[in-house]
Amino acid sequence: MNTTHTSYMSTIRTLYSLELHTFFLLLLVCPLLLFLLLLVVKSQKRWCNCAICTAYVTSSWASDYPNLCDWLTDLLRQSPTHTIHIHVLGNIITANPDNVEHMLRRNFQNYPKGKPFSAILGDLLGQGIFNADGESWHFQRKMAAVELNAASVRNFTVHIVSSEISNRLLPLLDSIAIDNSELPDGEVIDLQDVFRRFAFDVMCKVSFGLDPGCLELSLPVSEFAKAFDTASMLSARRGAAAFPFIWKAKRLFNIGSERELKRAIQMVNSLANEVIRQRKNLGFASTHDLLSRFMGSVQDDKYLRDIVISFMLAGRDTVASTLTLFFLQLSKHTRVKNSIREEQERIGSCEKLSNMQYLQAALYESMRLYPPVQFDSKFCLENDTLADGTFVRKGTRVTYHCYAMGRMEEVWGKDWAEFRPERWIRDDGKFSFFPESAFECPIFHAGPRECIGKQMSLMEMKAVVAAVIKRFDIEVLNGNSPKFALGLTACLNGGLLVQVRRRIQTKQ
C-alpha cells in the first residue's frame, strides 16, 4: 500500500513538474512568437507582387543576368528617370547624377546612414566611420583627415607600400612566373587572393604598425582576414533580405547564418582587441601608424575596435577589389597595357607616380565599369522629393547605384561599354588627368562623405600596377564573364586565376 501511494505521489509530482515547466516555457515562447508575428505583419505592409519585386524575391532575374547588379543596371537604364522602386525592400534605387548630388550634397543632412543601416551593419562595424552619423562621424572624419593629410603619415605610407612591393609582392610573383618563351604549363595562382593579402599587409602596417606576414604563402591565411570575409558576406546578406524578420529571428535564437556571423564577429573582435593591446604594449607616442595617432585622443577600447574594423574595410577590401578587376581589364586590352608601359618609359621611374596620368586614367576607367563599392544606401529622415521628381517618404532607404551609373549612355556615350582611359584625359598639348563630376561617377563617394583616403589609395594602386606590368605579363584564365560574390565590396566569386610570365627586359 505504501509503495503504491509513494508511486502515485511520485507520478503526481512528475506531472506537476512537467506542467510547471510547460507553463514557464509558454511564458517564454509566447512573447517571442508574438514578436515574430508582429515582425511578419509589419513586413507584409511592404509586400508587392509587381514584376520587379517578384523577380527580386524569387531570384528569377538570375536566369538572364550573371549578377544582381547587372539586372538592376538594366532596370535603371530602361527607367526614364533612371530611378526604380523595390517595394519589398522599401528601397528607392537611382543612377541619376542629379539625384545623387541632391542626396550627397544639397540635402545631405536629410540622408544619413540612419538607424536601419546601423542595425544591419552595427554588429560588424559598430560606430566606425562607415556606419556612424552625427558627432561620432564628424569626430572620426576630422581626426582621420588631419592624420591622413600629415606629411609624416604620407611619407610613412609611401615607404610601407614600396617595401611591400619590393620585398614581398614582386618576389612572390617571380617565384611562380614562367618565361615568355615557355609553354603555358606554369603554376596557376589566384591574383585576387594575392592582392587581398598584399592590401591586408599594407593596411596592418600603415593603420596598426603591425605585420601579419600574409604574403608568406607557406603560412595559413590570416584568421582575422577569413573571419572578416565571412562577416562581410553575411552582413551584406542582411541588407539584401526581402524579409528582415528572418535574419532578426535567427539572431534572436542564435541559429543558422546569424550564429555563423556571431562567431565570425567574435573572432574579428578578439583579434582587433589583440591588435589594440599589442599596439599599447609597443607604445604609440612616437609612431606613425594611424591607430597610434587615434590612441592619443581615444581612450575607449570599444570605440578603437570600431575604428580598427573601419581601417580594415577601407584599406584592404576596396584596394584589393580595384587591383583585381583592373588586371582583369588589362588582360583584355593590350593597347592600354602598352600605353601604360610607354608612359613608364617616358617618365623613366616608377617613383614618379604622380606624373603617370594615363595610368591614373586607366584606373578610374576600370573603377567606372567595376567600382569596388557597387552601391551605397542612406535613409531619408523627413519626406523629400528627389531632383527627378521622385517622392521619398520618411524612413525610406535610398540607394545610389555606382555600378549602374558608370554604364549610362546619357553620361558616357554610346561607347560606355568600351574600356577607354582616354575619356578621362583632356589633351591641351599634353596628357593631363581630368576627372568627371564626382556625382556622375561617385566611385570615391562624393559630398561631405567623400573618401578622405582617396589619394593614398590611388598612390598604392598606381605603385602596384606600375611595378607589376613593368616586369610581368598577367594571363587571366577565368575572366570572361565576371561573377561577383555577395559582400560589402566587389569580390569575384572563385577569384581571378592567372598565370604570370616574365617579360623580356630591355636595357633601361
- String of DSSP letters for 421-457: GGGGEEESSSEEE----TTTS-BTB-GGG--TTHHHH
Give bridge partners of residue 126 from the DSSP assignment.
Answer: none
**Backbone conformation region of residue 351, classed left if phi is above 0, alpha if psi is from -120 to 50, else beta:** alpha
Using an 8 Å Cβ cutoff, are 411 and 82 in contact? no
Q: Is the dihedral of CA 318, 217, 180, 182 positive or negative?
A: negative
Long-range contacts of residues 246-253, Cβ cutoff 8 Å, at least 24 apart: 248/39, 249/36, 249/39, 252/32, 252/35
- Cα 189 to Cα 194: distance, rounded to the nearest angstrom: 8
Q: Of 321, 271, 325, which Cα lies nearest the Cα of 482?
A: 325
Alpha-carbon 58 to chain mean position: 25
Q: How far apart are the first and last CA of the chain?
A: 109
- String of DSSP letters for 161-177: HHHHIIIIIHHHHHHH-
Q: CB neighbours (10 Å) of residue 14? A: 10
Residue ranges of the binding site? 451
- Cell representation of residue 269: 573582435
Please give the torsion angle defined by the CA atoms of residues 78, 82, 87 and 91, in that order, rounded to the nearest 10 degrees.
Answer: 140
Q: Within 13 A of 507's CA, how many CA atoms are on the CB side? A: 0
- Cα 94 to Cα 34: distance, rounded to the nearest angstrom: 36
Q: Of 229, 290, 297, which Cα lies nearest the Cα of 260?
A: 229
Q: For 305-388, where are the E strands, in sequence order? A: 375-379, 384-385
- Cα 440 to Cα 413: distance, rounded to the nearest angstrom: 13
Using an 8 Å Cβ cutoff, are 421 and 369 in contact? no
- Cα 260 to Cα 277: distance, rounded to the nearest angstrom: 26
- Cα 367 to Cα 345: distance, rounded to the nearest angstrom: 25
Backbone phi and psi for residue 484, each to the nearest 5 degrees, phi listed first: -95, 140
- Cα 50 to Cα 56: distance, rounded to the nearest angstrom: 10
Residue ranges of the binding site for heme? 451
Using an 8 Å Cβ cutoff, are 495 and 327 in contact? no
